[in-house]
Amino acid sequence: MDDDVRFIYDQVERHHAWFATCLPLIASENVISPLARELLLSDFGDRYAEGLPRERYYQGNLFTDEVEIRVTELARKLFRVRHADPRLISGTVANMAVYFALLEPGDIMTSVALSHGAHISSARFGAAGMRGVNTVNYPFDVDRMGIDVDGTAKLLKLVKPKVAAFGQSLFLFPVPLRELGDAFQEAGCTVWYDGAHVLGLIAGGKFQDPLHEGADVMTGSTHKTLPGPQHGILLSDSGDEKFIKRLQRAVFPGVLSNHHLHAMAALGVTLAEHLEFGRAYADQIIRNAKALAQALHERGIQVLAERHGFTESHTVAMDVAAFGGGAKLALDLERANIITNKTLLPWDTSPVKPSGIRVGTQELTRLGMREPQMREVADLVARVVVKGEAPDRVAKDVAALRKEFNTVHFCFTPGAEAHRRWRLA
């Protein structure tokens, strides 16, 4: 075997072995089911399918078309909407499609500020700025870690944005869409909800239902609380055919050529599994997040939004400035095999050295952990953060806890035909 190939294989295998001993707490990650993972190895990954099913610019899509049609139907059913587009290859690409469909350079879009938890794609140096969109940020309630409703209503009426965008990477609580309904109407804006982080909670009926609470379009990535492949999706319940056509044209030829058919097939399995298990999974994710937040708080770590129950999603946000800051402690925790990430908090000025750490419970929940394990996780985190214990000592106990939790839950059990290698005929 070539030395370069051997090196790459070795690094991947070392990663697998390491992560099997880790506590994965990144709020934007998850693991797909064995059946979904199988499809990522299929010949679909070698093929092209530009356009819509049965209206392709390439031949050879007899079966990929049927899969895409079924995936679209599953998405419509899961989210109870009239329009679903599963072609997007990531959540950010889905966001870019919205920019192309609904905004021209110079248009105003209101959104959450980056320091208040927004995703980089809504920033002036991200996709929004690349489109030439002028962004105006909502007033923010730091105590509750959500937008200020009265201030936001006044802002919408004042600036009359073309699009009012909602969605965060640090997403603790539902957006008050219903409360802002009159302001949306007076502003005459289109309402866009980026549900990337909370898509699985929405689908499980445990967070909010944006497309039936006032949003016109929702985008999302499909690998966070929705435990699918790294992919994207665009959804709408609008009956306006012209509006839907604008969205479709923005997807293709706007931001896509081919659209990663193997990931779309894997997404279809995820959607089917979520129809079966999503409600129970979403419920346990939130239960675990609340239990983890409470346990971290009890162990001396400042968890944000204490007066409001810490969180209603999968995410928990901590201010660890008193213990050295988010950048330092994220590295210390990684050395203890606790995988988190540093995050900006509203009072931070440096994204390189922020005071916060963000964690999510969706992957540990997927691996079968429940409330008792969240208290054990909090103990391990506190040993590093609060007590300053040597990370390598903590890592041994992390591995011992993780040893019992290496099976994917909330999915269909693979049959005897699963895990076979895909071969060309």
In CATH terms, the fold of domain 35-273 is Aspartate Aminotransferase; domain 2 (3.40.640)
Domain boundaries, the chain: 35-273, 279-402
Q: Which residues contact 158 (CB under 8 A, 6 or more apart)?
A: none
Provide the token pair at 258.
């081919």
Residue 423 has pLDDT above 90, yes or no: no
Residue 120's pLDDT is what? 81
Query: Which tens digit of pLDDT belongs to each residue from 40-60?
Result: 999 999 999 999 999 999 999
Considering only 35-39, 120-124, 182-186, 203-207, which range has the smallest mean pLDDT? 120-124
Q: Which residues contact 50 (CB under 8 A, 6 or more apart)?
A: 56, 57, 58, 252, 253, 257, 258
Residue 2 has pLDDT above 50, yes or no: yes
In this prediction, residue 70 has a pLDDT band, given cuts at 50, 70 and 90, of very high
pTM score: 0.95
Query: Which tens digit of pLDDT belongs to each residue from 372-389?
Result: 999 999 999 999 999 999
Residue 425 has pLDDT above 70, yes or no: no
Residue 419's pLDDT is what? 46
> Could you give the CA distance from residue 76 to residue 168 in angstroms, rounded to a whole number?
23
Residue 117's pLDDT is what? 83
In this prediction, residue 128 has a pLDDT band, given cuts at 50, 70 and 90, of confident
Considering only 142-146, 347-351, 353-357, 412-416, which range has the smallest mean pLDDT? 412-416
Residue 420 has pLDDT above 70, yes or no: no
CB atoms within 10 A of CB 9: 11
Give the pairing of strands 55-56 and 51-52: antiparallel
Residue 416's pLDDT is what? 46
Residue 421 has pLDDT above 80, yes or no: no
Residue 415's pLDDT is what? 63
Residue 38 has pLDDT above 90, yes or no: yes
DSSP-derived secondary structure for 324-337: T-HHHHHHHHHHTT
Residue 350's pLDDT is what? 87
Would you call 4 helix, strand, or coil by DSSP?
helix
Residue 424's pLDDT is what? 39
> Could you give the CA distance from residue 135 to residue 146 in angstroms, rounded to a whole number?
18
Considering only 25-29, 326-330, 348-352, which range has the smallest mean pLDDT? 348-352
Considering only 87-101, 105-119, 202-216, 330-344, which range has the smallest mean pLDDT? 105-119
Angle between helices 261-298 and 62-79 (to 10 degrees): 30
Residue 417 has pLDDT above 80, yes or no: no
Residues 279-402, CATH architecture? Alpha-Beta Complex (3.90)
- 303-338: burial string, b at 16+ Cβ within 10 Å, e else: bbbeeeebbbbbbbbbbbbebebbbebbebbbebbb
Would you call 377 helix, strand, or coil by DSSP?
helix
Q: Which residues contact 326 (CB under 8 A, 6 or more apart)?
A: 320, 342, 343, 353, 354, 355, 356, 357
Q: 354, 304 in Cβ contact below 8 A?
A: no
Angle between helices 371-385 and 326-335 (to 10 degrees): 110
In this prediction, residue 114 has a pLDDT band, given cuts at 50, 70 and 90, of confident
> Could you give the CA distance from residue 368 to residue 406 in angstroms, rounded to a whole number?
8
Residue 13: exposure state from Cβ atoms within 10 A (0-12, 13-18, ≥19): exposed
Considering only 36-45, 290-299, 416-425, which range has the smallest mean pLDDT? 416-425
Average pLDDT score over the chain: 95
CB atoms within 10 A of CB 388: 11
User: Of 305, 304, 309, which is closest to residue 326 (Cα–Cα)?
Assistant: 304
